[in-house]
Structure 1
Amino acid sequence: MAGMTLSLPIDAEANTLLQRDPLALLIGMVLDQQIPLEKAFSSPYVLTQRLGHAPTAEEIAGYDPEALVEIFAKPPALHRFPKAMAARVQEVCRLLVQRYDGRAERIWTEASDGRDALKRIAELPGFGKQKAQIFLALLGKRFDLAAPGWREAAGAYGEAGAYRSVADITDADSLTRVREYKQRQKAAAKAKP
């Protein structure tokens, strides 16, 4: 994918996979909940190693669900909830096959503008508004998404110079700043009556 500037603090080969494989990037975002983002975005590479190749959406969509859970659960598990997340990844891949001929990048490359891209992303299983905005910001900030108005559609996550999500991580310092932001958000939420 052109314009790639994502550089997460994970294995270099895992980063390379995220750069070249839109499905791997999308799977990383699917897994990015209730685990550290380093684990979420390195798990597509581990999945590729376990399968012996980078899977296609068609392959995952058609995989035997129990066998896919076994692959996700094999130590070290790809997620702390391997059964639920194997099912979620499979649901996403089935939608990709049904609507986008199995090509993850069509979700955003064929969007008419940022709002359309956000709508398409939010239709994915497990993607609420916030997660969809974060992924849209990731595509815009790190992958030069061409959809006009993507920053506005991504809301606060689209702001330049923000340190709110994976979209803003380029090195160890930016990772620290994103973690500090998230800690402040959690503390503020706990302080509310």
Structure 2
Amino acid sequence: MDVRIRLAQRPEADALLGRSTLAALIGMLLDQQIPMEWAFSGPYTIAERLGGDDLDAQEIAAYDPEAFAALLSEKPAVHRYPGSMAKRVQQLCQYLVDHYDGDPAAVWRDAGTGKELLERLNALPGFGKQKSQIFLALLGKQLGVAPEGWREAAGAYGEAGSYRSVADITGPESLDKVRAYKQEAKRAAKAAAKK
């Protein structure tokens, strides 16, 4: 994998996301309760703190949990909740080691359909239905992973020309469109809750 990704809005972090399937998965895992750019910069920060320029699922899974939590907690912290996210990152990496020999791309490499790929993503620790659908849309829209029926399996996130999620961000302009969409969705949800 070597594609141009612009989710972190930092060239060095985006370069890692574009060449490392594990970085992309970890960025998606971290993408909750913090700004998207912070989440997708996280894999680069982790790689730097581990002393390299890439990530390895086996290395992360085998890392001492307390030391790994401390690594993610260093200032600036990788996430708003660095301890719990360190545990989730290690769980994800351990799952990849146990089920895919530590090769994140094996999650989608031989998936025959979008439905099958969605099921595989849903099985990843820390990935619920929405996160899995968004990552499936990212795979299809930006990473060239497009098994039959991927758009349908990704739901609304798979729609062409939409600006709903990280799957649709290719630069600052599309980032602004996704943010506007999310703000409008929050307003609509609040208004509906008041009724």
TM-score, normalised via structure 1 length: 0.96
| Relative contact order higher in (CA < 8 Å, ≥ 6 apart) | 1
Could you tell me which residue of structure 1 aligns to residue 143 of structure 2?
143
Q: Which residue of 2 aligns with 1:82?
A: 82
Q: Counterparts of 1:118 and 1:109 in 2: how far apart (Å)?
A: 13
Identity of matched residues, %: 57
Aligned to 2:33: 34
**What is the RMSD computed on CA atoms of the aligned residues?**
1.0
Counterpart of 1:8? 7
Distance 2:160 2:69 in 1: 39
Q: Deviation of residue 126 (structure 1)?
A: 1.4
The corresponding residue for 2:154 is 154
Kept in 1, the 8 Å contact 2:118–2:132? The answer is: yes
1:52 equivalent to 2:27? Answer no
Kept in 2: contact 1:47–1:71 (CA 8 A): yes
Asked if the contact 2:157–2:165 (Cα under 8 Å) also holds between the matched residues in 1, the reply is yes
Q: Is the 8 A contact 1:109 1:147 kept in 2?
A: no
CA distance in 1, matches of 2:16, 2:5: 11
Instruction: Return the alpha-carbon distance in structure 1 between the equivalents of residues 174 and 6 of structure 2.
Output: 10
Cα gap change, 1:9 to 1:102, in 2 (>3 Å): closer
Distance 1:45 1:135 in 2: 18
Using the alignment, how far apart are the partners of 1:37 and 1:174 within structure 2? 13
Aligned to 2:17: 18
Instruction: After superposition, give the CA deviation of every residue in 1:51-83 in whole Å (9 maximum; x if it has no partner).
Output: 111231111111110000000000000000000
Cα distance change, pair 125–56 in 1 and its aligned pair in 2 (3 A): same
Partner of 2:134: 134
Q: What is aligned with 2:115?
A: 115
Q: Which residue of 2 aligns with 1:93?
A: 93
Contact 2:20 2:55 in 1 (8 A): no
Structure 1 Cα separation of the partners of residues 120 and 146 of structure 2? 15
Q: Distance in 2 between matches of 1:9 and 1:56?
A: 20
Structure 1 residue 5 displacement after superposition? 4.3
| TM-score when normalising by structure 2 | 0.95
Q: Which runs of 5+ in 2 are unaligned?
A: none
Deviation, 1:26, is 0.5
